[in-house]
């Protein structure tokens, strides 16, 4: 051994350098182990000192390694989980340094997460994510294998208030289990992320379900925010849509396409039928019937129905609005900029819905009346396929034609004898009594009014572009009604009164729009535009019929 090896350690060195290496080599293994344990127990000795002990020899490396892996409250394991790095997680487990039951503050939010919560933070499907698709797939695959390993080791996959980003409710126990898997997996499937990505998410969902952590059942389980590992550490999921807000049309489609209900999510065309089947299988396994009218919450849902405030926010009665379903199917047909999904062939939306309808019938999710209504919608989808096939492509007028065809399929079921129409916001009691799930037609849903506003928004968009030039419009488009409610307030409400028009299901769309036009009044002109309105009326005297002048002023009005 060289004289350098036998030289005493520098007095300024770390703890391990205070013991000459040759001295450690000559000691019995039992004493080496005691030294390593003493170093690990000393609060003044950092991990670097333990690492230097490992460099003494292979035997010391073997003895000290477990202490290094357990140091700083199992920091190595925590970092491995946070980065979904399975080899290090396994290494920690080999040395009893992988406590899957622990929780810790995850940087930079410093929220107290359990291993599976911290692991799932790796998943980020936001449209502005810097990751390319290849990197996303690598991360998804890494999360899946790490999730599988954690579940095998006994880690909890049950959602709690922290994992659901609901820790603002300080007066409740933040670790209260909600009885289902974390909702962040379903929330990130609101929009299409490509078939490989969807399949990987479904594998994770199926894996959690197989370990006794089922899908959420609350009808508003997908409401709220999604935790992330970047400031502000949570994001409203509906802000993930990468759509231009003008004109109103895409903004309105986006707001209705983002759903709170897990079952509604499963009906989107980019979601394979197997998710719906899994959800219905979970109801069967709990001995819960979706056709039975319950006076109180079924035993199998008493845990998953819990909300932010137990017994106050408990919800187990689920309702799917037919209007929401129609909006979803229409978006899948015609709005790939909203859904990020495009059918691979004409008729794919109909074929996917047909498979899901068969599953609903097989698992007795719907009664005879609901089945007839959904079959009518399926027939409408087949009609739309025939229309597109006959034209050879999706022509511009198909957007309206599809909307009208889908809504006409619903009109016959709005008759009173079917008892399918309900005011969802007022007459449905979410904590019972009622069915666990049913399809209804919301009395507030008016697809002809929506078309009326859509058509006007598109017309006014073109008028705005003509007035200010296309380049200026596209450079400043985010100044034009970022939310569709802004458009209605500025151009529709106050000028028209839809309460004076027949119910939409009693007349066709053209007749309804004509009746709506007839309700126009200039009483809605805001104070800041009255001078402009009066000037216009004076200028147009003699040019137009006096009764038509106010309407023409409204027709040419733009925000530019």
pLDDT tens for 527-541 read 889 999 999 899 988
3-state secondary structure of 560: coil
379 found inside a domain? yes
Residue 470: its pLDDT value, please? 80
Residue 49: its pLDDT value, please? 61
Phi, psi (rounded to 5 degrees) for 202: -65, -35
Residue 385: count other Cβ atoms within 10 Å of its Cβ: 19
Residue 408: its pLDDT value, please? 98
**Average pLDDT rounded to a whole number, residues 308-313:** 68
Is residue 16 pLDDT above 60, yes or no?
no
Residue 369: its pLDDT value, please? 97
Question: At which of 58, 74, 90 does a domain end?
Answer: 74
Q: How far apart are the first and last CA of the chain?
A: 86
Q: Please check whether residues 489 and 429 belong to one and the same domain.
A: no
Phi, psi (rounded to 5 degrees) for 420: -100, -10
Per the structure, the complete domain to which residue 54 belongs is given by: 3-74
Radius of gyration of the chain (CA): 31
13 found inside a domain? yes
Q: Give the pLDDT confidence of 264-284 residue by residue, as tens digits.
A: 999 999 999 999 999 999 999
Number of C-alpha atoms within 13 angstroms, CB side, residue 118? 27
Is residue 158 pLDDT above 90, yes or no?
yes
pLDDT band at 128 (very low <50, low <70, confident <90, very high): confident
Residue 426: its pLDDT value, please? 82
Answer for the pair 267, 325: CB distance below 8 angstroms, yes or no.
yes
Question: At which of 74, 100, 126 does a domain end?
Answer: 74
Is residue 174 pLDDT above 70, yes or no?
no
3-state secondary structure of 318: strand
What's the predicted TM-score (pTM) here? 0.87
Average pLDDT value over all residues in the chain: 85
39 found inside a domain? yes
In the chain, DSSP finds a helix count (H) and a strand count (E) of 25, 9
Q: Please check whether residues 422 and 288 belong to one and the same domain.
A: yes
Strands 111-113 and 104-106: antiparallel
Is residue 440 pLDDT above 50, yes or no?
yes
Strands 225-227 and 437-442: unpaired
* 281: enclosing H helix or E strand: helix 273-285
Q: Give the pLDDT confidence of 66-96 residue by residue, as tens digits.
A: 877 888 889 999 999 999 999 999 999 999 9
Q: Please check whether residues 491 and 431 belong to one and the same domain.
A: no
**Average pLDDT rounded to a whole number, residues 330-335:** 96
User: Residue 113 forms beta bridges with which residues?
Assistant: 104
287 found inside a domain? yes
Question: At which of 74, 99, 116 does a domain end?
Answer: 74
Q: Please check whether residues 404 and 486 belong to one and the same domain.
A: no
Is residue 124 pLDDT above 80, yes or no?
yes
Taking CA 165 as the corner, what is the angle to CA 162 and CA 171, rounded to the nearest 5 degrees?
Answer: 60
7 vs 43, residue with greater confidence: 43
**Average pLDDT rounded to a whole number, residues 349-361:** 99
86 found inside a domain? no
Residue 472: its pLDDT value, please? 80
3-state secondary structure of 234: strand
Residue with tokens 């004109």: 247
Is residue 9 pLDDT above 60, yes or no?
no
Residue 12: its pLDDT value, please? 39
Residue 30: its pLDDT value, please? 58
Residue 511: count other Cβ atoms within 10 Å of its Cβ: 14
Q: Please check whether residues 474 and 500 belong to one and the same domain.
A: yes
Closest to 350 in 3D by CA, of 386, 395, 393, 400: 386
Q: Please check whether residues 274 and 371 belong to one and the same domain.
A: yes
Q: Please check whether residues 354 and 297 belong to one and the same domain.
A: yes
Taking CA 345 as the corner, what is the angle to CA 344 and CA 348, rounded to the nearest 5 degrees?
Answer: 90
pLDDT band at 201 (very low <50, low <70, confident <90, very high): very high
Number of domains in the chain: 3
> What's the CA gap between 497 and 14, in Å, rounded?
81
Answer for the pair 439, 322: CB distance below 8 angstroms, yes or no.
yes
**Average pLDDT rounded to a whole number, residues 230-243:** 59
Q: Please check whether residues 499 and 391 belong to one and the same domain.
A: no
pLDDT band at 171 (very low <50, low <70, confident <90, very high): very low
- DSSP letter string over 27-76? S-HHHHHHHHHHHHH-TT--HHHHHHHHTS-HHHHHHHHHHHHHHHHHHH
Q: Please check whether residues 436 and 477 belong to one and the same domain.
A: no
Residue 490: count other Cβ atoms within 10 Å of its Cβ: 17
Answer for the pair 488, 456: CB distance below 8 angstroms, yes or no.
no
Q: Please check whether residues 282 and 329 belong to one and the same domain.
A: yes
Residue 115: its pLDDT value, please? 97
154-179 residues labelled b (16+ CB within 10 A) or e (exposed):
ebbbbbbbbbbbbbeeeeeeeebbbb
Q: Give the pLDDT confidence of 450-505 residue by residue, as tens digits.
A: 999 989 988 888 888 888 888 887 777 666 665 566 788 889 999 999 999 999 99
152 found inside a domain? no
pLDDT band at 14 (very low <50, low <70, confident <90, very high): very low
pLDDT band at 250 (very low <50, low <70, confident <90, very high): confident
3-state secondary structure of 415: coil
109 found inside a domain? no
Is 61 buried (19+), middle (13-18) or exposed (0-12) by CB count in 10 A?
Answer: middle
Q: Please check whether residues 271 and 388 belong to one and the same domain.
A: yes
Q: Please check whether residues 423 and 274 belong to one and the same domain.
A: yes
Is residue 366 pLDDT above 50, yes or no?
yes
Answer for the pair 331, 339: CB distance below 8 angstroms, yes or no.
yes
Is residue 406 pLDDT above 60, yes or no?
yes
Residue 70: its pLDDT value, please? 84
381 found inside a domain? yes
């Amino acid at each position: 051994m060289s004289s350098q090896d036998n030289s005493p350690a520098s007095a300024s060195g770390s703890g391990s350098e205070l013991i000459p290496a040759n001295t450690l080599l000559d000691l019995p293994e039992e004493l080496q182990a005691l030294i390593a344990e003493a170093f690990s127990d000393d609060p003044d000795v950092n991990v670097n000192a333990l690492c230097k002990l490992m460099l003494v020899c292979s035997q010391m490396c073997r003895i000290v390694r477990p202490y290094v892996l357990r140091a700083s409250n199992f920091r190595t394991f925590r970092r491995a989980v946070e980065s979904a790095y399975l080899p290090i997680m396994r290494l920690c487990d080999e040395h009893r340094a992988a406590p899957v039951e622990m929780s810790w503050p995850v940087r930079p939010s410093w929220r107290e997460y359990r291993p599976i919560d911290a692991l799932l933070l790796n998943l980020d499907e936001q449209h502005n994510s810097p990751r390319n698709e290849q990197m996303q797939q690598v991360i998804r695959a890494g999360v899946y294998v790490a999730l599988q390993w954690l579940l095998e080791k006994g880690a909890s996959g049950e959602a709690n208030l922290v994992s659901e980003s609901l820790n603002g409710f300080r007066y409740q126990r933040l670790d209260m289990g909600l009885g289902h898997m974390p909702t962040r997996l379903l929330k990130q499937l609101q929009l299409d992320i490509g078939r490989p990505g969807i399949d990987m998410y479904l594998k994770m969902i199926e894996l959690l379900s197989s370990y006794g952590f089922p899908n959420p059942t609350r009808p508003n389980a997908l409401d709220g925010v999604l935790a992330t590992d970047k400031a502000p550490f949570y994001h409203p999921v509906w802000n993930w849509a990468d759509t231009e807000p003008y004109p109103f049309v895409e903004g309105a489609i986006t707001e209705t396409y983002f759903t709170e209900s897990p079952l509604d999510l499963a009906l989107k065309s980019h979601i394979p039928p197997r998710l719906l089947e899994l959800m219905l299988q979970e109801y069967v396994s709990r001995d819960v019937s979706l056709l039975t009218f319950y006076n109180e919450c079924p035993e199998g849902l008493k845990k998953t129905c819990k909300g932010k405030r137990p017994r106050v926010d408990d919800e187990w009665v689920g309702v799917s609005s037919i209007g929401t379903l129609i909006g979803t199917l229409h978006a899948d047909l015609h709005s790939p900029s909203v859904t990020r999904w495009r059918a691979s062939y004409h008729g794919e939306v109909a074929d996917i819905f047909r498979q899901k309808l068969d599953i609903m019938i097989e698992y007795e999710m719907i009664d005879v009346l609901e089945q007839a209504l959904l079959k009518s919608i399926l027939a409408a989808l087949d009609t739309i396929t025939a229309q597109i096939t006959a034209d050879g492509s999706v022509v511009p007028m198909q957007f309206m034609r599809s909307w009208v065809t889908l809504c006409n399929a619903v009109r016959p079921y709005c008759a009173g004898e079917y008892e399918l129409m309900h005011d969802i916001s007022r007459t449905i009691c979410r904590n019972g009594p009622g069915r666990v799930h049913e399809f209804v037609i919301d009395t507030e849903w008016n697809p002809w009014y929506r078309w009326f506003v859509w058509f006007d928004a598109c017309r006014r968009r073109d008028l705005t572009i003509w007035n200010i030039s296309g380049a200026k419009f596209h450079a400043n488009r985010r100044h034009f009604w970022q939310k569709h409610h802004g458009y209605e307030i500025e151009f529709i409400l106050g000028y028209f009164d839809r309460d004076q028009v027949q119910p939409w299901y009693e007349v066709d769309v053209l007749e309804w729009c004509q009746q709506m036009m007839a309700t126009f009044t200039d009483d809605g002109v805001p104070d800041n535009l009255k001078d402009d309105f009066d000037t216009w009326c004076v200028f147009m005297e003699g040019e137009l019929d006096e009764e038509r002048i106010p309407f023409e002023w409204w027709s040419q009005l733009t925000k530019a």
